[in-house]
Structure 1
Amino acid sequence: MTEIRHRAAVLGKPISHSLSPLIHNTAYKAMGLDDWFYDSHEVDELSLGDFIGELDPRWHGLSLTMPLKKAIMPMGQTANRWAEKLGVANTAIFDWRPGASGPGIRLYNTDVAGINLAITNALRKHGRNDDATYATLPAKALIIGSGNTACSAIAACSTMQIEHVTIAARHADKAHAIAPLAQTFGMSVDVISLRQIPEIIGTERIVISTLPSHAADSTASAILPYDTGDLNGILLDVIYDPRPTLLMQAYRRKGGLAIGGEEMLLYQAIPQLAYMTGTDFDALPPHLDGTIRLALQEVL
Structure 2
Amino acid sequence: MAALGSPAGRCLAPVLHRAAYAAMGLDDWSHEAVACDEATLPGLLGSFGTYWAGATLAVPLPRAVLPLLDEVSELAMDVGGADTVVVRHGRSVGEHTGAHGIMSAIHQAGLTAPGSAVVLGGGAAACSALAALREVGVREPVVVVRERDHALEVEAAAGRLGVSVELRHVDELGRLLRGVPVVVSTLPAGAADALAPTVARSGAAVLDAVCSAWPTRLAKAAGFAGSTVVDGLTMRLHRTVRQIELLTGWAGVGELPFAAMRAAALDELARREARSAEPAGSGGKLM
The TM-score, its normalising length taken from structure 1, stands at 0.81
Give the alignment of 1:126-205 within 5 angstroms.
139-175=115-151, 178-179=154-155, 181-182=157-158, 185=161, 187-205=163-181
C-alpha distance after superposition, 1:235-292 (max 9, x if no partner) = 111111111111111222222111111111111111211121122x23x376333332
Superposition map of 1:73-84 within 5 A: 73-84=66-77
Question: Does the Cα contact within 8 Å between 2:15 and 2:268 map onto a contact in 1?
Answer: no
- Deviation of the 1:45 alpha carbon: 0.4
CA shift, 1:28, in A, is 0.9
Structure 1 residue 190: Cα displacement: 1.4
Tell me: CA distance 1:164–1:260, structure 2 relative to 1, closer, same or farther (3 Å): same
1:39 equivalent in structure 2: 32
How far did residue 163 of structure 1 move? 4.0
Residue 241 (structure 2) aligned to one of 270, 273, 291: 270
- 1:113 equivalenced with 2:100 (yes/no): yes
In 2: Cα distance, 1:176 partner to 1:71 partner: 17
**CA gap 1:183/1:89 in 2 versus in 1, 3 angstroms:** closer
RMSD: 2.3
* Aligned AA (1:287): L
Q: List aligned pairs for 1:219-238, cutoff 5 A.
A: 219-220=195-196, 223=199, 228=201, 231=203, 233-238=204-209
Paired with 1:297 and 1:112, the residues of 2 have a C-alpha distance of 22
Aligned CA distance change for structure 1 residues 91 and 261 (closer, same or farther; 3 Å)? same
Deviations 1:61-106, CA, capped at 9 Å, x for gaps: 100111101011011144433112223110001135xxxxxx4210
8 Å contact kept, 1:30–1:285? no
Per the alignment, in what secondary structure is the counterpart of residue 37 of structure 1? coil
Q: Find out whether 1:59 has 2:29 as its counterpart.
A: no
Q: Which amino acid aligns with 2:100?
A: A
C-alpha change, 1:58 and 1:38, in structure 2 (3 Å) is same
Partner of 2:284: none
Q: Aligned partners of 2:84, 2:196: CA distance in 1, in Å?
A: 32
The residue aligned with 1:292 is 261
Shift of residue 159 of structure 1?
0.8
- Structure 1 residues 166 and 78, CA, compared in 2 at 3 Å: closer, same or farther? farther
TM normalised by structure 2 equals 0.84
Distance (whole Å) between structure 1 residues aligned to residue 254 and residue 167 of structure 2: 42
Aligned to 2:220: 249
Between the aligned partners of 1:142 and 1:291, the Cα distance in structure 2 is 32
Q: Deviations over 1:141-186 (max 9, x none)?
A: 1011111111110111011122431110122133366336446655
Q: Percent identity?
A: 30
User: CA 1:254/1:35 → structure 2, altered by over 3 Å: closer, same or farther?
Assistant: same
Unmatched runs of 5 consecutive residues or more in structure 2: 270-287
